Chain A
């Protein structure tokens, strides 16, 4: 767009203080955290003695952080997979012009408007081993002894206690992928589907040949957004389970919070937070690069 030089200068002058403040709070603070993570500040008083990568070495050697990384991996994997498959399924149901569609959509989406703390409080009771689902199963005659989020069972590194958290998180976020897919499906021209039907294509053929290819780029965006939610997960685990016995439901976000604000181990906490940032950046930076590269 054409814009006189004088006006561009004005725009930059307005922009400058806002961006300076924002970048100080984002990048300035990240560098500050990074600096803290290289020090020996492990008490209430700041101690900026340089210890190099020592905090990171201790971190990777600790049982808790190894468990956290494993939990994050499995939680992210199942969270994304179930949200995508379930979300597609729901969006396809709505796309099939069912009656009461807007009612259905409202129901599938409402958990998204809730706080993770509310979700956590709710589902903690549902999965609580004494009062929750177990008591329902007992009522109808089953011998329900599964510990849910207190179970210390592990299958190939996957702590089964995570199942309760995964169910709660997918309950909350499946509507999100549904909304994204539905927006994509609405963009398919009706004629395209109709002419395929005239050519004798069945429902599954249409899904495979027309719908899935259109859905693919949306799936990618959805994975990125869900991925960064699950890599940062904190509130839900904090409210619902806490770190659990033997850290079965622990995540880096919880570890960082407890280490820093309950234990005053600032340097160690900073190191955990930098690791979290790296995990998220690995996913987000290429995504932003691809998004903004094409413009201009």
Chain B
């Protein structure tokens, strides 16, 4: 939309002001994470680091590296299974009509909105019963199951846009439903696979509730829990805490900066309609 010069100037001013507001916490975290311990003083949090050093990062990394590895070990299998199961469910709900399919799908989608507190006690009991409580594998299973609603929703919205004729033509050519899925639909699913991958990567990496409830031993805890433990102890200097926060944020920030388009797509499909 074209507008006048004065209104343009005002808009630039406001846009830049907003940028400063959004970046200001980032300044605090980067600035303080670069301060050596000797510079960490209560009154000087706002002043730029005089002698930038990686002291804080080295200490934070030595405390968090194992947890970072745990987070990757958690996120990778969850992403793979979310894509596999999500695409199958999404395809069936988008293209096969059977009784109550709509109601069933609404029941699936409701699962992504529930407060997970309402299933936590049974979850812990069940994980205990099948001996997965306190293990990374238990957390992986949990994230795969509760990630199914959003991943199948994303695939369903995408498959709903594929013309029925394309699928029917495949059937006329002698393919069965499964053949249509693997030979026609899967090859054109890449964009949605990337969206689901990024979405699950970000939300599982950032999860705290499941992780803090299901993993007790520090050696298997994902990075969010470890960061909270690190920051919760008052004795740890804040340069280390800030460096830790930055380290924990880096993987998802990278994904966002380089694959932002898909991230936004995932974000918008979170509101149910495709």
Contact = CB atoms under 8 A, between A and B. Distances in A.
Interface in B14-45: 14-15, 18-19, 21-23, 25, 28-29, 32, 42-43, 45
A33 B224 contact: no
A96 B3 contact: yes
A277 B228 contact: no
A247 interface: no
Nearest to B231: A121
A40 to B, nearest CB: 14
A23 B117 contact: no
A291 B117 contact: no
Nearest to A103: B19
A266 B121 contact: yes
A246 interface: no
Nearest to B44: A135
A45 interface: no
B187 interface: no
Given A21-B145, A33-B119, 13 more contacts: A1-B96, A1-B97, A2-B168, A4-B171, A22-B148, A26-B119, A122-B25, A131-B238, A180-B268, A221-B272, A253-B117, A273-B121, A291-B273
Question: Sorted from nearest, which 4 A-B pairs have the closest CB atoms?
Answer: A115-B206, A7-B177, A113-B256, A29-B119
30 contacts: A1-B95, A6-B176, A7-B176, A10-B177, A15-B92, A22-B108, A22-B145, A25-B145, A26-B107, A26-B119, A32-B121, A32-B125, A33-B118, A33-B119, A36-B121, A108-B18, A110-B22, A110-B253, A113-B255, A113-B256, A117-B206, A122-B28, A132-B45, A203-B3, A235-B208, A235-B209, A238-B228, A261-B213, A273-B120, A280-B113
Interface of A: 1-4, 6-8, 10-12, 14-15, 18-19, 21-23, 25-30, 32-33, 36, 89-90, 93-98, 104, 106-118, 121-126, 130-132, 135-136, 138-139, 171, 176, 179-180, 183, 190, 193, 197, 203, 206, 221-222, 224-225, 228, 231-232, 234-235, 238-239, 252-253, 256-257, 260-261, 266, 269-270, 272-274, 276-277, 280, 284-285, 287-289, 291-292, 295-296
